[in-house]
C-alpha cells in the first residue's frame, strides 16, 4: 500500500576508516554490526512509522588517503552481490525500513576500477536502487567509461529513481548536492525524496552543502534527507572534521530536524508526501519544476564542453591523472594561468 506520510531518519553514526586496518574486511563487517545496532535502537525509539533510514557517506570504510585505485579496490570495495549488502539487507528487512547508504563498489565488467555507489535496500532485503556517483574528484565514475557503461547498463541505471510504497526515492552522493543538474534530472524522472549520504564539515553557519540542500529542495519541490558522519576515526585528521549537522529539509527549504555532533538519531521527521504532491500540482511562481526550459539549457550546455566522457576507457587511473584532467579543463575554460604574480 502506498503511503502519503511516514517518518524518515538521517542516522548519524561514526565512521571507522579501514586504511590502516590489519583486517579491513573484518572492519567492514564490524561496521555493518554497528549500523545494525544503531538502527535497532532508532527503530525501537521511533516505532513502526519509521520507514526510511539514510546512512552517511562511505560509512563502512572511510575514504582512500594515498591508496591507488587498485589498492582501494582490494581493500574497501564491496561486490554488488557480496556478503556486506546481504547483511545490510537483513537489517533493513528485520526492521521493515528502506535503508539508504553509500559504499565503494567493484564491478565485474570493469575489473580494474571501483565506483562510489549509493544504494537503497527495501523492507524485503533486496536492492531497490543502485546509483553510481557521477561527480568525483579522485575516484572513477561511469562517465569515465561512458560508452561501455551505457552499453552494459543503459541510461536508466545512470539516473535511477525507485518507485516505492513510501514515494519515489533517489540518491545523491555527498558533494553532488552542489550540482543542480543531477537533482533536477532525478526530479524530472519523478524523484520526491533525495537520500543524501554525506561526509562533510559541519559549522554553526550555513556551509556550501547546507545551502545546496535547501536550494535543491526548493528548485525541485522535493524532500532532502541528509545523513552526515558522527565523527571519523582511524585517519590522521581530527575526528570532528566530518561530524554532525545531519538534517531533513522540506520542499520549501525549511529544516524539519537537525542533529548536533556525535552519533545521533535526532535528525528525524515526518515526510508528508500528500502535501508535496499538492505543491507540485499547484500553478504559481513557486512551482519551479513546471517552469524549467529544458530544451534551452540542453542546447546551450552542448556549446560548452567541460569534462568529457570516456577518459578512462584506455587509461589506467591514478591520482595524477584526475588532477591533470582538472587542470586541463581549467585552462580550457579560463585560459592558461598568468605566470606573473
Q: pLDDT tens digit string along 291-309? A: 999 999 999 999 998 999 9
DSSP state of 249: E
Q: For residue 160, what is its C-alpha cell? A: 535511477
pTM given for the model: 0.96
Percent of the chain whose predicted confidence (pLDDT) is above 70: 99
Per-residue pLDDT tens for 49-93? 999 999 999 999 999 998 999 999 999 999 999 999 999 999 999
Question: Does the structure show a pLDDT above 70 at 341?
Answer: no
Q: Is 124 exposed, middle or buried (0-12, 13-18, 19+ CB in 10 A)?
A: exposed
* Alpha-carbon distances of 236 from 56, 239, 240, rounded to whole Å: 20, 9, 12
Percent of the chain whose predicted confidence (pLDDT) is above 90: 91
State in Å, rounded, how far the first CA of the chain is from the last one.
65
Q: Would you tell me how many other CB atoms lie within 10 Å of the CB of residue 245?
A: 25
Q: Could you give the CA distance from residue 85 to residue 300 in angstroms, rounded to a whole number?
A: 41
Amino acid at each position: 500500500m502506498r503511503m502519503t506520510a511516514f517518518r524518515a531518519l538521517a542516522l548519524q553514526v561514526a565512521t571507522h576508516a579501514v586504511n590502516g586496518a590489519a583486517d579491513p574486511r573484518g572492519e567492514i563487517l564490524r561496521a555493518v554490526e554497528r549500523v545494525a545496532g544503531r538502527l535497532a535502537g532508532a527503530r525501537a525509539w521511533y516505532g513502526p512509522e519509521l520507514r526510511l533510514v539514510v546512512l552517511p557517506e562511505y560509512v563502512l570504510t572511510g575514504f582512500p588517503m594515498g591508496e591507488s585505485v587498485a589498492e582501494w579496490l582490494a581493500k574497501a570495495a564491496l561486490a554488488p552481490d557480496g556478503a556486506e549488502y546481504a547483511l545490510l539487507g537483513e537489517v533493513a528487512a528485520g526492521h521493515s525500513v528502506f535503508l539508504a547508504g553509500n559504499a565503494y563498489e567493484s564491478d565485474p565488467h570493469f575489473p580494474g576500477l571501483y565506483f562510489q555507489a549509493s544504494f537503497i535496500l527495501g523492507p524485503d532485503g533486496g536492492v531497490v536502487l543502485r546509483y553510481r556517483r557521477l561527480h568525483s574528484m579522485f575516484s572513477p565514475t561511469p562517465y569515465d567509461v561512458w560508452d561501455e557503461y551505457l552499453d552494459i547498463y543503459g541510461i536508466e541505471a545512470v539516473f535511477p529513481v525507485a518507485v516505492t510504497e513510501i514515494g519515489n526515492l533517489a540518491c545523491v552522493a555527498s558533494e553532488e548536492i552542489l550540482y543542480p543538474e543531477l537533482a533536477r534530472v532525478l526530479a524530472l524522472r519523478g524523484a520526491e525524496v533525495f537520500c543524501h549520504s554525506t561526509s562533510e564539515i559541519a559549522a554553526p553557519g550555513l556551509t556550501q552543502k547546507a545551502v545546496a540542500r535547501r536550494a535543491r529542495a526548493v528548485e525541485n519541490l522535493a524532500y532532502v534527507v541528509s545523513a552526515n558522519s558522527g565523527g571519523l576515526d582511524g585517519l590522521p585528521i581530527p575526528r570532528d572534521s566530518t561530524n554532525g549537522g545531519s538534517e531533513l529539509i522540506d520542499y520549501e527549504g525549511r529544516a524539519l530536524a537537525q542533529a548536533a555532533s556525535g552519533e545521533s538519531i535526532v535528525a528525524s521527521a515526518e515526510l508528508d508526501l500528500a502535501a508535496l504532491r499538492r505543491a507540485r500540482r499547484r500553478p504559481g511562481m513557486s512551482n519551479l519544476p513546471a517552469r524549467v526550459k529544458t530544451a534551452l539549457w540542453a542546447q546551450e550546455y552542448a556549446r560548452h564542453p567541460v569534462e568529457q566522457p570516456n577518459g578512462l576507457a584506455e587509461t589506467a587511473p591514478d591520482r595524477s591523472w584526475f588532477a591533470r584532467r582538472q587542470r586541463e579543463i581549467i585552462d580550457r575554460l579560463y585560459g592558461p594561468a598568468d605566470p606573473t604574480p
